[in-house]
C-alpha cells in the first residue's frame, strides 16, 4: 500500500488551513483516501499553525506519527518539525523568507523561492501557499489537474475567476519549478486509485448535514470553538433548506431559544463547548421536566474554565451525564467518525422527539475539525419519526393529560394553538395535566414515568460496535474520537502478530450494560484508551458493570492520540506483564 503524510507549518493568518484542505481534497478528487488534522493557538492572529494531511490508496482512519513532506513557510516551522520527516522524505522551504543552518540527515531539501514565484505570476505573498501545493504535487505521480480543479472550486465562488486563475498559476509555477530543478528526486509513486466518488468532510459538517436531513428547522448558538463551524455551515444553508439560524448573545439564550422552538413544534438544536454547556445546564433541566425534545452538541476542549480553547480532550463525559440539578433521563451519544456524526445526529432528533427528552451529542475538537474521506451517506431508510404527536379528533384530546402515566413513560405531545387542547408545561413538579403537584405519590409516579423511557429505548438501540478478531489477546475499549487512532493501532498490532480487538461504546446513556459485559467478561487483557486524566469511561464501566479494566492508556496534553503511541503503550503493558 502506498501512502504518505504531508505537513505545512507557518504563522497564523497566512491561509494555512485553506491550503491544507485543498491538498487533501485534491487527492480525494483523484480517487485516494485522505485524513487531516490541524493545530492552531487560541490567538486572534499570529502564533504557529500546522495542517497535516495523510493520503493513502486504502481506507485510513487517523493521522500517524511521522511525515514524508514538510512545507516550512518560516524558520520556526523548519526547526520545530524537521525531525518529524521520515528518512528519504522532503522539506520544501521558502528561500525568500529564511535560510537554513542545519540539515537533517537522509532528507531531501528543496529550497524554492515560493514568494517570488507567487508574485511573478501576479499574485500576492499569501499565494506562496499555492506555489508550495504545486511543488508538493510534483513530488508524486498524481495528475496535477486535480489540484487545479480544487483550487478553482475553492476560490472562484468566493473571490472570483481572476483570483482563482492567479492561484492556479501560482501552483503551476511551483509544480514546474520542481519538475525542472529536482527531476532526479524519487517521487512518491501511487500504483492505483479508485474511481468511486467520495466526500471529504469533517465532523461538524457531518453533524450539520445530519441535522438538515433530520428536518432541523431552528439552530441557535453562540460561537465557541470547536463547535462554531456548525453555526457557520448551517448559516450558509439557511435559505437552501428553510432553516432559521440564530447567533445568540450567549449560550443561555441559545438553549432557551432551541427549547422554545421545539415546544412550538419545530425540530431544534444548539451547539457549544464545555464552558458554554455549563451555562446551559439549568435549561437542560427545563427541557427534561417539561419533556420537551431538544438536541445539544457539545464539542469538547480541555478545561477547566477557558482551558485550551483550540485543542482537544474527552474530559466532559461525567459532566454531561450529570449536568443540571436533580435526576432525569437524557441520552448521550458519542460518534467516533464523520459517518457516525451524520447518522447519529439524524438518530438524535428521532430519539429526542420520540422519547421527549434532551439528547446530547458528545464530540471534540479532533473529530469536529478533522476531515476524513467517507462514502456518500446512504439516505434510504432514514425516516423522520416525530413520536406520539396528538392529532385532532383523538380520544386523548378530550381529557388531555400532557404527562399521562403510560407503560412506556411516553405521553401524547400537543403543540401550542391546537384546538381545544390546553395544558401547562410547568418547571415545578406536576401531575398528569401539568398542574403543580407536590404530593409524594405523584412525585414518585412522575419520576418513574420519565425514567421508564430509557428502559424502552435500551431495547431499540445498539449501543456498541466491535472490531477485530474475537479470540484476542488484547481488548481495547474506547469512545468518541479515539476510534480512528485505535483502528489504525489494530492494523499495526496485526502486522506485529498481535491479536487484538476493539470495543467502541457509542451510547453512553442509556449505557449498554449487557453488551459491554458480554465482551469484557471474556476479554483476556482489557485496555482503556481515553483522552482525559481520570479515565472517565473506565469509571462508568465499573459503575454500570462491576468490571475493572486491566490497564489505562490516558492522554491529556490537548492533543489526540497517535496510533503509534497506543501501540507503544500496549507493547509496554505486555512486556511488563511478563515479569
The secondary structure of 82-119 as a DSSP string is: GGGEEEEEEEEEETTT---S---TT-EEEEE-HHHHHH
DSSP-derived letter for residue 392 is T
In the predicted model, is pLDDT for residue 158 greater than 60?
yes
pLDDT attached to residue 315:
98
CB 417 within 8 A of CB 266: no
d(CA 505, CA 497): 26
Which pLDDT band holds residue 1 (cuts at 50, 70, 90)?
low
Q: Where exactly are the structural domains of the chain?
A: 3-189, 201-374, 388-461, 465-577
Closest CA to 174 of 288, 99, 93, 236: 93
Give the CA dihedral 120, 122, 125, 128, nearest 10 degrees.
-70
Which pLDDT band holds residue 192 (cuts at 50, 70, 90)?
confident
Enter the C-alpha cell of residue 205. Answer: 459538517
CB 366 within 8 A of CB 560: yes
Which pLDDT band holds residue 193 (cuts at 50, 70, 90)?
confident
Q: Answer yes or no: same fold for 201-374 and 465-577.
A: yes
Which pLDDT band holds residue 44 (cuts at 50, 70, 90)?
confident
For 206-260, how does the pLDDT look when each residue is reduced to its tens digit (9 = 90+)? Answer: 999 999 999 999 999 999 999 999 999 999 999 999 999 999 999 999 999 999 9
pLDDT attached to residue 433:
95
pLDDT attached to residue 224:
97
d(CA 225, CA 229): 8
pLDDT attached to residue 555:
98
pLDDT attached to residue 125:
80
Query: How far are the Cα atoms of 123, 189, 258, 345, 497 from residue 147, in angstroms, in the given order?
Result: 17, 17, 41, 32, 39
- Percent of the chain's residues with pLDDT above 70: 99
Enter the C-alpha cell of residue 408. Answer: 412506556
d(CA 295, CA 219): 10
Using DSSP's 3-state secondary structure scheme, residue 288 falls into helix
d(CA 66, CA 81): 10
**pTM summary value:** 0.96
Enter the C-alpha cell of residue 340. Answer: 457516525
In the predicted model, is pLDDT for residue 284 greater than 90?
yes
Class of domain 201-374: alpha beta
pLDDT attached to residue 256:
98
d(CA 355, CA 416): 19
Count CB-CB contacts under 10 A for residue 407: 8
Which pLDDT band holds residue 404 (cuts at 50, 70, 90)?
very high
Query: How far are the Cα atoms of 267, 289, 318 from residue 281, in angstroms, in the given order?
Result: 20, 13, 13
Average pLDDT over residues 173-198: 91
pLDDT attached to residue 391:
85
For the chain, helix (H) and strand (E) counts, in that order, are 18, 20
In the predicted model, is pLDDT for residue 451 greater than 70?
yes
Enter the C-alpha cell of residue 345. Answer: 445526529
For 302-355, how does the pLDDT look when each residue is reduced to its tens digit (9 = 90+)? Answer: 999 999 999 999 999 999 999 999 999 999 999 999 999 999 999 999 999 999
- Percent of the chain's residues with pLDDT above 90: 88
pLDDT attached to residue 117:
96
For 366-397, how does the pLDDT look when each residue is reduced to its tens digit (9 = 90+)? Answer: 999 999 999 999 999 899 999 999 987 777 77
In the predicted model, is pLDDT for residue 4 greater than 60?
yes
Count CB-CB contacts under 10 A for residue 2: 16
The fold of 3-189 is: Pyruvate-ferredoxin Oxidoreductase; domain 3 (3.40.920)
Average pLDDT over residues 164-180: 96
pLDDT attached to residue 463:
96
CB 549 within 8 A of CB 516: no
Which strands make up the sheet holding 108-112, listed edge to edge? 108-112, 85-94, 67-72, 3-11, 48-56, 33-39, 371-374, 199-202
pLDDT attached to residue 577:
66
In the predicted model, is pLDDT for residue 269 greater than 70?
yes
Helix ranges, 375-439 (H): none
For 77-108, how does the pLDDT look when each residue is reduced to its tens digit (9 = 90+)? Answer: 999 999 999 999 999 999 999 999 888 899 99
- Biggest alpha carbon–alpha carbon distance for the chain: 86
Q: What values do phi and psi take at 260, rounded to 5? A: -60, -40
- 465-577 maps to which CATH number? 3.40.50.920
The secondary structure of 308-369 as a DSSP string is: -TTS-----HHHHHH-SSS----EEE---SHHHHHHHHHHHHHHHHHHTSEEEEEEEHHHHH
Closest CA to 387 of 429, 364, 357: 357
**How high is the mean pLDDT of the chain?**
95
d(CA 515, CA 88): 47
In the predicted model, is pLDDT for residue 153 greater than 90?
yes
CB 254 within 8 A of CB 280: yes
For 62-75, how does the pLDDT look when each residue is reduced to its tens digit (9 = 90+)? Answer: 999 999 999 999 99
Average pLDDT over residues 275-294: 98
Amino acid at each position: 500500500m502506498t501512502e504518505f503524510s504531508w505537513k505545512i507549518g507557518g504563522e497564523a493568518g497566512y491561509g494555512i488551513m485553506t491550503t491544507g484542505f485543498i491538498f487533501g481534497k485534491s487527492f480525494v478528487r483523484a480517487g485516494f483516501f485522505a485524513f487531516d488534522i490541524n493545530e492552531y493557538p487560541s490567538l486572534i492572529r499570529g502564533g504557529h499553525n500546522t495542517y497535516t494531511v495523510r493520503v493513502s490508496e486504502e481506507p485510513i482512519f487517523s493521522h500517524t506519527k511521522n511525515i514524508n513532506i514538510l512545507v516550512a513557510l518560516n524558520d520556526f516551522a523548519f526547526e520545530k518539525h524537521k525531525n518529524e520527516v521520515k528518512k528519504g522524505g522532503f522539506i520544501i522551504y521558502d528561500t525568500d523568507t529564511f535560510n537554513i543552518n542545519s540539515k537533517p540527515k537522509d532528507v531531501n531539501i528543496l529550497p524554492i523561492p515560493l514568494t517570488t514565484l507567487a508574485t511573478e505570476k501576479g499574485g500576492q505573498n499569501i499565494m506562496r501557499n499555492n506555489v508550495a501545493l504545486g511543488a508538493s504535487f510534483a513530488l508524486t505521480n498524481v495528475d496535477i489537474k486535480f489540484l487545479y480543479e480544487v483550487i478553482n472550486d475553492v476560490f472562484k465562488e468566493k473571490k472570483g475567476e481572476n483570483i482563482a486563475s492567479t492561484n492556479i498559476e501560482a501552483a503551476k509555477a511551483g509544480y514546474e519549478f520542481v519538475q525542472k530543478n529536482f527531476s532526479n528526486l524519487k517521487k512518491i509513486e501511487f500504483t492505483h486509485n479508485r474511481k468511486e466518488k467520495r466526500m471529504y468532510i469533517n465532523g461538524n459538517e457531518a453533524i450539520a448535514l445530519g441535522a438538515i436531513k433530520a428536518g432541523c428547522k431552528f439552530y441557535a448558538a453562540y460561537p465557541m470553538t470547536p463547535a462554531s463551524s456548525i453555526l457557520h455551515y448551517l448559516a450558509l444553508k439557511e435559505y437552501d433548506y428553510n432553516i432559521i439560524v440564530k447567533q445568540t448573545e450567549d449560550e443561555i439564550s441559545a438553549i432557551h431559544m432551541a427549547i422554545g422552538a421545539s415546544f412550538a413544534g419545530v425540530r431544534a438544536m444548539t451547539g457549544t463547548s464545555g464552558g458554554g454547556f455549563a451555562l446551559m445546564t439549568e435549561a437542560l433541566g427545563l427541557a427534561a421536566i417539561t419533556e420537551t425534545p431538544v438536541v445539544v452538541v457539545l464539542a469538547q476542549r480541555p478545561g477547566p474554565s477557558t482551558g485550551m480553547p483550540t485543542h482537544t480532550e474527552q474530559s466532559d463525559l461525567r459532566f454531561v451525564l450529570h449536568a443540571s440539578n436533580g435526576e432525569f433521563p437524557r441520552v448521550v451519544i458519542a460518534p467516533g467518525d464523520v459517518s457516525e456524526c451524520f447518522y447519529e445526529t439524524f438518530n438524535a432528533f428521532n430519539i429526542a422527539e420520540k422519547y421527549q427528552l434532551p439528547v446530547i451529542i458528545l464530540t471534540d475538537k479532533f473529530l469536529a475539525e478533522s476531515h476524513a474521506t467517507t462514502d456518500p451517506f446512504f439516505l434510504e431508510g432514514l425516516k423522520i419519526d416525530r413520536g406520539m404527536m396528538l392529532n385532532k379528533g383523538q380520544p386523548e384530546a378530550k381529557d388531555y393529560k400532557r404527562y399521562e402515566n403510560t407503560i412506556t413513560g411516553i405521553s401524547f405531545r400537543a403543540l401550542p394553538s391546537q384546538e381545544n387542547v390546553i395544558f401547562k408545561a410547568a418547571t415545578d413538579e406536576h401531575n398528569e395535566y401539568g398542574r403543580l403537584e407536590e404530593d409524594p405519590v405523584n412525585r414518585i409516579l412522575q419520576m418513574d414515568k420519565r425514567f421508564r423511557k430509557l428502559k424502552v429505548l435500551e431495547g431499540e438501540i445498539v449501543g456498541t460496535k466491535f472490531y477485530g478478531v474475537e479470540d484476542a489477546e488484547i481488548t481495547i475499549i474506547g469512545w468518541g474520537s479515539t476510534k480512528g487512532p485505535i483502528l489504525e493501532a489494530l492494523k499495526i498490532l496485526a502486522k506485529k502478530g498481535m491479536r487484538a480487538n476493539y470495543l467502541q461504546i457509542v451510547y453512553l446513556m442509556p449505557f449498554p450494560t449487557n453488551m459491554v459485559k458480554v465482551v469484557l467478561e471474556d476479554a483476556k487483557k482489557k485496555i482503556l484508551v481515553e483522552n482525559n486524566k481520570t479515565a472517565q469511561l473506565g469509571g462508568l464501566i465499573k459503575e454500570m458493570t462491576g468490571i475493572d479494566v486491566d490497564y489505562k492508556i490516558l492522554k491529556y496534553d490537548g492533543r489526540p492520540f497517535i496510533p503509534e503511541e497506543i501501540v507503544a503503550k500496549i507493547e509496554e503493558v505486555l512486556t511488563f506483564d511478563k515479569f
